[in-house]
Structure 1
Amino acid sequence: MSDQRRNLYFFYQQTEELNDKLESLFQLARDNDFQVVEDSNKANIIIAVGGDGTFLQAVRKTGFRQDCLYVGIRAGNEAGLYCDFDIDNHDEMIDAMKNSEIEVRRFPLIETTINNESTFSSLNECSVRSTLIKSIVVDVYIDDLHFETFRGDGLIIATPTGSTAYNKSINGAVVDPKLPCFQISELASLNNNRYRTLGSSFILSGERTLKLTVRQDGNDHPIIGMDNEAFSIRNIHDVTIKLSENVIKTVKLKNNTYWDRVKRTFL
């Protein structure tokens, strides 16, 4: 680990049990010349303790920083596709950092622009879903070419790492994060003589731009989900999504690949 990366910020939900476990980790970090800081802006290593949900929150709450490394630590039986370390194995993490047994992994982000005004980043996925007991109608464009008109409960646009989350639950494909791309999956599409969709997930190159135009038919207030947060934005006309130039840099053990974690989690 570079001498310049010595300031650690811990992101976690405080409980008595977790505080007790982390106190010994804080001390172990200090004993090995790391500094624990209270302000995430002063950190160059941000450590999320919990599970994948906590990791996503840590990345979002600290602003998808490009100048630091993110580290995931599992707590208890939490799912940990973003987490290479376990809270009950302190020595493994410290030894790995000291002895260069880690590698830097780069995860792609997607950028979502709403009504050509506000832009948001996502590490897992962006979802557009109906808020009413009524289907939503969306015109789908790929690079300004009309592709299909969707009617149903909504659409999920997932990054490769997000392909194992919400996307997988509706039978989307699991995608290697080394592929610069994003995936579009349907939520309960309605197919008839008037509305016709592909009926399956499809994957777009990172060079493509996806545009979703929401039909203004009384159901123009969909929920926009970014990772594990919902955004309430009124009168949504269009949603433009593309692969971001930014990435999230995370720490991984050399002997723990993405597919190792997929196998451990699902098989």
Structure 2
Amino acid sequence: MTDRMNIFIYSKHDEDSLDKKSKVADALIHEGFTMTDNDKDANIIISIGSDGSFLQAVRKTGFRQDCLYAGISLTGKPGLYCDFHYNNLYEMTQTIRKEGLEVRKYPLIEVKIDDHQPFYCLNEFSIRSNIIRTFVLDVIIDDKLFETFLGDGLIISTPTGSTAYNKSVNGAVVDPLLRCFQVTELASVNNNKYRTLGSSFIMSGERKFQLKVHQDGNVFPLVAADNEALGIRQVESVEIRLSDKTVKTVKLKNNSFWEKVQRIYL
């Protein structure tokens, strides 16, 4: 248990969030935990807020592979990533203390745009036209052209991310025990010149996936990693693969992925 005693807390910087962060820190200190202002010294990284705050906490701390992540919901409603409630911090401290603590692993996708450094996504990567017109992408699987897409954009999601942006545009919800990722269209246009599958499709994590933007004047698409827009100005090629890295969270009793999906959506 001693390797789970140093805690870094991530929160927004508004007055209410900082006040609640202070109260969470006091509760954890009272239970014998140590707070650290440097996320690199932490064994557990806790986000306060919503699932969006959890995504930001994971991204801002570099998708650490040697620590656990946990999310505290401030709304009273649990999320996909926020397993604990602000009004029941005792449950969290006792769960962390358990010697036989079980760990849940969420898969990541790795994305490389042109010559930029690769980055990771826990939910999804999206690419969209940034002007009021469609754009054209070549969709390449294992170095072979699969289709030429004309439309507003594409979403490439992880299994856990399948419940987010992907689900809102009728993509499938995917069990995170499957090593895969999903490709979902945004307003595709099918005509005599351009033809796409017309539905989302799920790919094995062993596949190589690539997008090439047609250089026809609309070469400045909006690209986003999870809930954060990226400041990459021009895009020619995007390579995406399922990463070997995962995000580790606390696994709770009666709180499996499908129990969460049922609780949130049904």
* Match in the other structure for 1:144: 143
d(CA) in 1 for partners of 2:168, 2:94: 36
* Match in the other structure for 1:69: 68
Which amino acid is 1:162 matched to? Answer: G
Alignment length, in residue pairs?
Answer: 266
Cα distance, 1:136–1:62 mapped onto 2, change above 3 Å: same
Structure 1 residue 189: deviation in Å?
Answer: 0.1
d(CA) in 2 for partners of 1:89, 1:129: 40
* Match in the other structure for 2:29: 30
Q: Is the 8 A contact 1:102 1:254 kept in 2?
A: no
Residues 52-201 of structure 1 aligned to structure 2 (within 5 Å): 52-77=51-76, 80-100=79-99, 102-201=101-200
Cα distance, 1:111–1:192 mapped onto 2, change above 3 Å: same
d(CA) in 2 for partners of 1:36, 1:187: 43
Superposition RMSD on alpha carbons, in Å?
1.5
Structure 1 residue 19: deviation in Å?
Answer: 3.9
Ranges in structure 1 where 5+ consecutive residues have no aligned partner: none
* SS class of match (2:102): strand
d(CA) in 2 for partners of 1:56, 1:142: 28
Shift >3 Å, 4+ stretches: 14-24, 99-102
Residues 180-259 of structure 1 aligned to structure 2 (within 5 Å): 180-259=179-258
Which amino acid is 1:233 matched to? Answer: I
* SS class of match (1:249): strand
Structure 1 residue 118: deviation in Å?
Answer: 2.4
Cα distance, 1:21–1:237 mapped onto 2, change above 3 Å: closer
* Match in the other structure for 2:11: 12
Q: Is the 8 A contact 2:12 2:18 kept in 1?
A: no
Cα distance, 1:78–1:129 mapped onto 2, change above 3 Å: farther
d(CA) in 2 for partners of 1:260, 1:229: 27
d(CA) in 2 for partners of 1:23, 1:65: 23
Identity %: 54
d(CA) in 2 for partners of 1:115, 1:245: 21
TM-score by length of 1: 0.95
Which has the larger displacement, 215-224 or 113-122? 113-122
* SS class of match (1:198): coil
* Match in the other structure for 2:44: 45
Which amino acid is 1:93 matched to? Answer: M
TM-score by length of 2: 0.96
Which amino acid is 1:218 matched to? Answer: G
Deviations 1:74-98 (A, max 9, x none): 0125661101100100111112222
Which amino acid is 2:176 matched to? Answer: P
Q: Is the 8 A contact 2:182 2:201 kept in 1?
A: yes
Deviations 1:40-64 (A, max 9, x none): 1111100001111000000000011
d(CA) in 2 for partners of 1:131, 1:17: 34
Cα distance, 1:125–1:135 mapped onto 2, change above 3 Å: same
Q: Is the 8 A contact 1:125 1:158 kept in 2?
A: yes
d(CA) in 2 for partners of 1:146, 1:241: 15
Q: Is the 8 A contact 1:103 1:254 kept in 2?
A: no
Which amino acid is 2:41 matched to? Answer: K
Q: Is the 8 A contact 1:140 1:213 kept in 2?
A: yes
d(CA) in 2 for partners of 1:33, 1:254: 24
* SS class of match (1:232): coil
